[in-house]
Amino acid sequence: LLLLGLFYVFMTWNFGYWRKRKVPGPKPRCFTGNYPHMYNMKRHAVYDLNDIYSEYKNKFDAVGIYGARSPQLLVINPQLARRVFVSDFKHFHDNEISLMVDEKSDFIMANNPFSQIGDEWKQRRADVTPGLTMGRIKTVYPVTNEVCEKMTEWLRKQIRLPPSGGIDAKDMSLRFTTEMVTDCVLGLKAESFSDKPTPIMGYIKDLFAQPWTFIVYFVLVSTLPALRHVFKLRFVPLPIEKFFVNLMQTAIDARRQQLAAGKQFERADFLDYILQLGNKKNLDTRHLTAHTMTFLLDGFETTALVLSHLLLLLGRDQEVQQQLREELEANLNDKSIIDFEKLNELPFLDACIQESIRIFPPAFMSNKLCTEPIELPNKTGENFTVERGTTVIVPHYCFMLDEEFFPDPQAFKPERFMQPDAVKMYREQGVFMAFGDGPRVCIGMRFALTQIKGALVELLTKFNIRVNPKTRSDNEYDPTAFITNLKGGIWL
């Protein structure tokens, strides 16, 4: 009994952290804090946060919560959320994951801008950003159209096969993004739509199919935060890291051989830029891979999920699907594609993508880190100081699915984004951060949107999309997925 009592005290002794700082919040529970489904994973964590958000949003700007024993500040005022990302950025410069990785545990992830801190992040972003200018994206746009043709051939083949329960939208979308990104970034073919694809797609699936590893780690460091100093997270398993380092070397060797043979390239692609950067900074293949994986990690999985969720929503709403189809068909050229410049001038296409991201935001929440102390107001409560090292949770889902900001929030209504500068307006209100905001806004945003738009032009002008009956009819998230995913999968 004494041991049990001591253990209980250990698990709960930190629960006075926010009370001492006069920050209100819900009562935490032993073991789980304010995440009651932390262990059983029967409900997505963002739904637990939404319950807290709904209870306190009219009273305070932020409340104190706990992940197991670790104190966290939950932002429930969207204007305060925007301050975290934009006006007070210097106080919340880094992401919490920066505490969980280092170069010894995970060289690739530690060199990703998402997990880098301070001047390292600033320099890496400055290094990588020029590789994704609109000019370079336009240069590789023909690749998009080539991959779209392969996707159509593959789809028609699947349709001719005996009934198999429908098309797995996530699988199809991942085939598309794998082929796209591998070619655009590395100049190689993934053969994702062939009968004998390269191992690239398999490794990508393995990379994002290890949620229990992360769940166990997050539970442990939430219970014993000091473990973050001893045990670090490996997001990219060593075999996958070795595969992509070798793949990068293959791409570099192939490009250098082509250049040595006098072949002139019509496109100034990302590999071309990375090779220039490598020569300028004397980077070895491992460092070049780390730079490149910034685009591979973001470009494969996240873009595929946005595309698959949009296909789901269009499949559910034939009227919206037809309206979008008519806009696309009206802008096809004589080659049955849409010119790059026109692709970015289609308001209903943009509206459909943004509305899909609102309902299924890939980043349903952001875990920021306080890097400089700051005093904040708290509506009807007292002002309080956020101390350095505090984890600050920005629950994007709660804002984007709040009927106060988006009436009938679970409904797919692209017209929400048809008014002029709607995205900018919602972003400045803090209620819609599809690709983040402020200095750390997603650097691959324009490349991802071009991929998604290209795929939609191909699919909607060649096919009619309907949802297979085995796909669920609501929008419930998979509780084990760390990137938003419909529970049970999407079947078309």
Q: What is the pLDDT of residues 213-225, one digit of tens each?
A: 778 888 888 888 8
pLDDT confidence bin for 266, thresholds 50/70/90: low
> What does the block give as tokens for 188?
């190689």
Q: Which position has the token pair 């919490």?
A: 96
291 and 440 part of one domain: yes
Those residues with Cβ within 8 angstroms of residue 462's Cβ, 6 or more apart along the chain or in another chain = 152, 155
H helical segments located in 269-334: 270-281, 285-297, 303-316, 318-329
Say yes or no to pLDDT of 169 above 70: yes
Say yes or no to pLDDT of 350 above 70: yes
245 and 382 part of one domain: no
Q: Are strands 366-369 and 391-394 parallel, antiparallel or unpaired?
A: antiparallel
The reply to whether 223 falls in a domain is yes
CATH assignment at residue 395: 3.30.43.20
How far the first Cα of the chain sits from its last, in Å, is 56
- pTM for the whole structure: 0.94
378 and 460 part of one domain: no
Say yes or no to pLDDT of 49 above 70: yes
If one compares 138 and 207, the residue with the highest pLDDT of the two is 138
Dist. CA 52–CA 479, nearest whole Å: 18
CA 230 → CA 103, 214, 373, distances in Å?
A: 14, 16, 26
Those residues with Cβ within 8 angstroms of residue 419's Cβ, 6 or more apart along the chain or in another chain = 425
343 and 479 part of one domain: yes
Query: Is 184 strand, coil or helix?
Result: helix
Q: Which residues pair with 72 in a beta bridge?
A: 65, 391
Q: Tell which residue, 372, 391, 371, has the closest CA to residue 18.
A: 391
The reply to whether 421 falls in a domain is no
- Stated as kind and residue range, the H or E segment containing 358 is helix 347-359
175 and 323 part of one domain: yes
Those residues with Cβ within 8 angstroms of residue 263's Cβ, 6 or more apart along the chain or in another chain = none
Q: Which position has the token pair 């429930």?
A: 76
Chain mean pLDDT for the chain: 91
Q: What is the pLDDT of residues 432-462, one digit of tens each?
A: 998 899 999 988 889 999 999 999 999 999 9
Last residue of a domain, one of 372, 390, 416: 416
304 and 238 part of one domain: yes
> What does the block give as tokens for 20?
């001492």
Lowest mean pLDDT among 164-168, 335-339, 418-422, 456-460: 164-168
CATH assignment at residue 241: 1.10.630.10
The reply to whether 379 falls in a domain is yes
Torsion angle (degrees, nearest 10) of CA 396, 297, 194, 172:
-10
The reply to whether 87 falls in a domain is yes
Dist. CA 310–CA 451, nearest whole Å: 13
Those residues with Cβ within 8 angstroms of residue 370's Cβ, 6 or more apart along the chain or in another chain = 73, 91, 92, 386, 387, 388, 389, 390, 391, 392
440 and 485 part of one domain: yes
Dist. CA 371–CA 245, nearest whole Å: 33
H helical segments located in 161-237: 169-181, 200-207, 211-223
Burial-class residue 403 by CB neighbours within 10 Å (0-12, 13-18, 19+): exposed
Domain that holds residue 1: 1-37+46-91+362-416
Which amino acid, residue 42?
A: K
DSSP string, 72-136: EEEE--HHHHHHHHTTTGGGS-EEGGGGT--TTT-HHHHTSTTT--HHHHHHHHHHHGGGG-HHH
442 is in an annotated binding site: yes
The reply to whether 96 falls in a domain is no
Those residues with Cβ within 8 angstroms of residue 491's Cβ, 6 or more apart along the chain or in another chain = 165, 166, 167, 168, 169, 467, 468, 470, 471
Helices 169-181 and 141-160: crossing angle in degrees, nearest 10, is 150
Q: How many structural domains is the chain composed of?
A: 2
The reply to whether 334 falls in a domain is yes
% of the chain surpassing 90 pLDDT = 63
383 and 260 part of one domain: no
The reply to whether 205 falls in a domain is yes
Q: Are strands 62-67 and 70-75 parallel, antiparallel or unpaired?
A: antiparallel
383 and 396 part of one domain: yes
285 and 375 part of one domain: no
392 and 244 part of one domain: no
The reply to whether 383 falls in a domain is yes
280-284 own/partner pairs: CB under 8 Å, 24+ apart = 281/127
Cβ atoms within 10 Å of 349's Cβ, excluding its own: 23
Q: Is the dihedral of CA 34, 38, 41, 46 positive or negative?
A: positive
Section 30-40 average pLDDT: 91
204 and 340 part of one domain: yes
- Stated as kind and residue range, the H or E segment containing 368 is strand 366-369
pLDDT confidence bin for 264, thresholds 50/70/90: low
Q: What is the pLDDT of residues 275-311, one digit of tens each?
A: 888 889 898 888 888 888 776 766 788 999 999 999 9
DSSP percent split of the chain into helix, strand, coil, nearest 5? 55, 5, 40
Dist. CA 134–CA 136, nearest whole Å: 5
